[in-house]
A = this chain, B = another copy of it.
């Protein structure tokens, strides 16, 4: 009885233990809040999933019993290794489906999220792999979010957001948040899309507007919107003349 490793392996690696849609959503959300490491508040899970906090307590306890979460009452939750793998599998599906809808079926980028949100729970691995192959194994989704590999590897770089950038700095947009269709339509209209290069022209104090230059135009956006735009600062060498 010493050691305690046993034949757990068999049981815990069983990949046929199919997760329900809601369970996949919990795991995905927990990963997205805590990047897979940090302890996550149950209230925040509730808020993101749009359900009552009380509902989260119950579910979170069951997921902990199943070995998908670490959980201590009143202390938040963390993903176990199994939970992290499951979360990344769902996120991979979601982002490949988004990419496929966008590239193969000409879905507008503000509508891919909702569709993927439902399909991610129904699509088989085979389908997701075929979709990925059909559009050339994309590495980011239409909003710039990195697609985890089949093995669960994913780029976890934490980017600055546009509102954190000082006046005069240039940056390239790498990713925008994907779940608000109206915001996405507005961003597209302003041409604030992954790959775009921007320069901070000025920043008004007290939550005031941020003026940026983007391919010639000047435009002003609020800091709340700017906070949804992730950027990579340009080095002087990369920087456009200004």
> Which A residues form the contact surface with B (CB < 8 A)?
101, 104-107, 111, 114-115, 118-119, 121-124, 126-127, 130-131, 134
Which residues on B sit within 8 Å (CB–CB) of A106? 130
| List of B residues within 8 angstroms of A115 by Cβ | 123-124, 126-127
Given A118-B122, A122-B119, A122-B121, A127 contacting B101 (CB threshold 8 A): yes
Residues from chain B with a CB closer than 8 A to the CB of A124 are: 114-115, 118
| A111 partner residues in chain B, CB cutoff 8 A | 126
CB distance from A11 to the nearest CB of B (A): 26
A126 to B111, CA, bound (A): 10
Q: Which of A105, A107, A134 is the most central at the interface, judged by chain B CB atoms within 10 Å of its CB?
A: A105
Collect the chain B residues with CB atoms within 8 Å of residue A104's CB.
Answer: 104, 134
Residues of B contacting A130 with CB < 8 Å? Answer: 105-107
Query: Which residues does chain B contribute within 8 Å of A119, judged by CB atoms?
Result: 119, 122-123, 127
Closest 9 CB pairs of A and B: A122-B122, A118-B122, A105-B130, A119-B122, A115-B127, A115-B124, A105-B134, A121-B122, A119-B123
Residue from A104, A115, A118, A122 having most chain B Cβ neighbours under 10 A: A122
Q: How far is the CA of A157 from the CA of B74 in the complex (A)?
A: 63
